[in-house]
Amino acid sequence: MTQATRGMPVRFLVWLFHLALPLLGLWLLLTVPAADVLLEHHPTHFWLVATVAFVNVGLRPYYAEGSKTIALETAEQLGWRAPDHVVVPVASGALLTKVAEGFRQLRRVGLIEDAETRVSGAQPQGCSPVATAYLEGTDEIAPVRYPDTIARSLAIGAPADGHFALREVRGSNGALQAVSDDEIVEAVGLLARTEGIFAETAGGVTIATLERLAASGVVRPDETVVAYVTGMGLKTLDGFGMAFGLEATIGPKVEALLEAVPA
Question: Same domain for 126 and 164?
Answer: yes
Kindly tell me if the per-residue pLDDT of 65 is higher than 90: no
Question: Same domain for 92 and 15?
Answer: no
Question: Same domain for 35 and 85?
Answer: no
- What is the tens place of the pLDDT at every residue in 106-119? 999 999 987 889 99
First-to-final CA distance of the chain? 78
pLDDT (0 to 100) of residue 257: 86
- What is the tens place of the pLDDT at every residue in 129-188? 999 999 999 999 999 999 999 999 999 999 989 999 999 999 999 999 999 999 999 999
Indicate whether 76 belongs to any domain. yes
Indicate whether 140 belongs to any domain. yes
Indicate whether 104 belongs to any domain. yes
**CATH code at position 187:** 3.40.50.1100
- What is the tens place of the pLDDT at every residue in 189-204? 999 999 999 999 999 9
pLDDT (0 to 100) of residue 19: 60
Indicate whether 73 belongs to any domain. yes
Average confidence (pLDDT) over 17-21: 58
pLDDT (0 to 100) of residue 9: 59
Question: Same domain for 205 and 109?
Answer: yes
Question: Same domain for 90 and 127?
Answer: yes
Instruction: Judge whether 119 and 96 are in contact, CB under 8 Å.
Output: yes
Question: Same domain for 9 and 116?
Answer: no
Identify the CA nearest to 142 among candidates 133, 150, 151: 133
Which one of 54-58, 157-161, 242-246 scores highest in mean pLDDT?
Answer: 157-161
Question: Same domain for 47 and 135?
Answer: no
What is the model's pTM?
0.74
Question: Same domain for 147 and 17?
Answer: no
Average confidence (pLDDT) over 1-20: 54
Would you call 170 exposed, middle or buried from its count of C-beta atoms within 10 A (0-12, 13-18, 19+)?
Answer: middle
Question: Same domain for 49 and 172?
Answer: no
Indicate whether 219 belongs to any domain. yes
Out of 32, 55, 78, pick the residue that ends a domain: 55
Kindly tell me if the per-residue pLDDT of 49 is higher than 50: no
**H/E run at residue 71:** helix 68-77
- 151-165, 215-229, 243-257: which has the minimum mean pLDDT? 243-257
Indicate whether 169 belongs to any domain. yes
pLDDT (0 to 100) of residue 36: 47
Q: How many domains does the chain have?
A: 2
Instruction: Judge whether 150 and 194 are in contact, CB under 8 Å.
Output: no
- Domain span at 105: 61-240
Question: Same domain for 228 and 112?
Answer: yes
Instruction: Judge whether 68 and 102 are in contact, CB under 8 Å.
Output: yes
Partner residues linked to 121 by β-bridges:
88, 176
Contacts of 63 (CB under 8 A, 6+ apart): 94
Indicate whether 258 belongs to any domain. no
Instruction: Judge whether 58 and 160 are in contact, CB under 8 Å.
Output: yes
The more confident residue out of 20 and 43 is 20
Q: What secondary structure does DSSP assign to 87-137, as a single string?
A: EEE-SSSHHHHHHHHHHHHHHHTTSS-S-PPEEEEEEEGGG-HHHHHHHTT
Contacts of 131 (CB under 8 A, 6+ apart): 90, 121, 122, 123, 176, 177, 178
- What is the tens place of the pLDDT at every residue in 116-139? 899 999 999 999 999 999 999 999
The more confident residue out of 111 and 235 is 111
Question: Same domain for 44 and 115?
Answer: no
Contacts of 75 (CB under 8 A, 6+ apart): 81, 82, 103, 106, 111, 112
Instruction: Judge whether 176 and 87 are in contact, CB under 8 Å.
Output: no
Question: Same domain for 49 and 111?
Answer: no
Indicate whether 252 belongs to any domain. no
Kindly tell me if the per-residue pLDDT of 41 is higher than 60: no
Helices (H) and strands (E) in the chain, counts: 11, 4
